[in-house]
Structure 1
């Protein structure tokens, strides 16, 4: 599983040209491709909760001003309005960015924290990765199929109070780093997202409970010290498929993760939290 990667320095021109190319490519796929994208909304929610999850809105992160956290919540509230109640019918694909659209100031988005090449900067719409992380994690606990997901290339903050395996999130960059989910079942699924004063909360809902439940876990977690001096974190993500009697009927490979660590491993006594 070990994969040797190291930081890559790209010029601003290279970054801009690459972004233009992949953004255009995505638009062509959305509007001229053969996928059927979900677009039906309902404010009447399907009766059964398949999986629900919540994550705190405010976290103490080293060297991150709290005003970025407050702005993140503003951005989340706007984006959720574009997702809450979406129904993904059989044969349809959920596209995170096609539904949300491009975050900009005209729509009310404000500056938030954006992870960028192993660090962070401010950017309009920053903080929406918390939303894509949650949807990805919830989907791993359903029969829905994740057809496009991008892992975080950098492990920016040390673990603290982490409740999910390392690498169980999905990074998002408009519009070419998308999160896409295909409904290959014979039943419709519906996404319900909302905010409380303290939490981002999400649910996948359906007409009835699926036959199986899922337990997501990691294997072969390790940290390697590379020849060029840095550290890389690795793991495999699997999930156990459980029947109604809680018997394991399958053990499915999901993905592998490799991330450049931007802090010294095995730190003790740290208080900052991970963003995943």
Structure 2
């Protein structure tokens, strides 16, 4: 792996780069031969394969609470686009193809976004919480993740972290997409909704699960880089168990490398 370090790009390059990547994605959506999931059903499938929730509000250093409350507005709009989506055998779920662009005209407001390691704001900000949730849930199902992007920066120190570092999926319309293919012979259904305090997701299926999963990390470390900063590393694995609780597989999922925007060894002092 080449050493990571912060990159400085001009606003002009970033602007035209986004245009090029977005046009490329539009072309892929219509010419790549994939069968994308589009049908929605509000009749819940019987079997819950995996369910997870994350808090809507967190206290984050140097982040205005207004941006977090605005995020809830954005999540409500996006959740309506995904709730009830059916993923039939052979179909591919595309996060951004279903949600669409996040514009003010659709009701989206300014929320928190991460831009080259800096906390800033933008219309539709905060939807990474939704892509993170879906990615984490999918790791606990037989569905196949065919496209996922890791976060390049680790902006905030761990605070009551319950999941391994790097077990989320960053998103940016539309070129940083999250895509999931149903390579099983069973229909799946995604449910997404908000309570007063949480963002909640469920993967349901026509048949019950015949295995369970445990996602964990290996080789977690921080390295001091020659340019003066730190990079955080780990690898993500998952164990699969049959219904008798017997281990039947232990597979590599992905590796993560992210530039830390804080002093890691001060943060982790006991």
TM-score by length of 2: 0.98
Q: Distance in 2 between the 1:70 and 1:118 partners?
A: 21
> What RMSD, in angstroms, separates the aligned Cα atoms of the two structures?
1.1
Match of 2:240, SS?
Answer: strand
Match of 2:237, SS?
Answer: strand
What is the CA deviation profile of residues 109-166 of structure 1, one whole-angstrom value per residue up to 9, with x for unaligned ones? 0000000111111100000000000000000000000000000000000001000000
Show structure 1 runs of 4+ deviating over 6 A: none
Aligned match of 2:251: 252
- Structure 2 unpaired stretches of 5+: none
Aligned match of 2:203: 204
- Structure 1 unpaired stretches of 5+: 271-276
Match of 2:176, SS?
Answer: coil
Q: Distance in 2 between the 1:201 and 1:53 partners?
A: 6
Aligned match of 2:37: 38
Aligned match of 1:223: 222
CA contact (8 A) 1:172 1:178 kept: yes
TM-score by length of 1: 0.96
TM-fit CA distance, 1:268: 4.2
What is the CA deviation profile of residues 81-131 of structure 1, one whole-angstrom value per residue up to 9, with x for unaligned ones? 000000000000000000000000000000000001111111000000000
Q: Is residue 103 from structure 1 mapped to residue 102 from structure 2 by the alignment?
A: yes
Q: Distance in 2 between the 1:266 and 1:71 partners?
A: 33
Match of 1:68, SS?
Answer: helix
- Number of equivalenced pairs: 269
What is the CA deviation profile of residues 225-250 of structure 1, one whole-angstrom value per residue up to 9, with x for unaligned ones? 01111000000000001111111111
Aligned match of 1:274: none
Q: Distance in 2 between the 1:269 and 1:148 partners?
A: 32
CA contact (8 A) 1:3 1:258 kept: no
CA contact (8 A) 2:236 2:253 kept: yes
Matches within 5 A, 1:69-80: 69-80=68-79
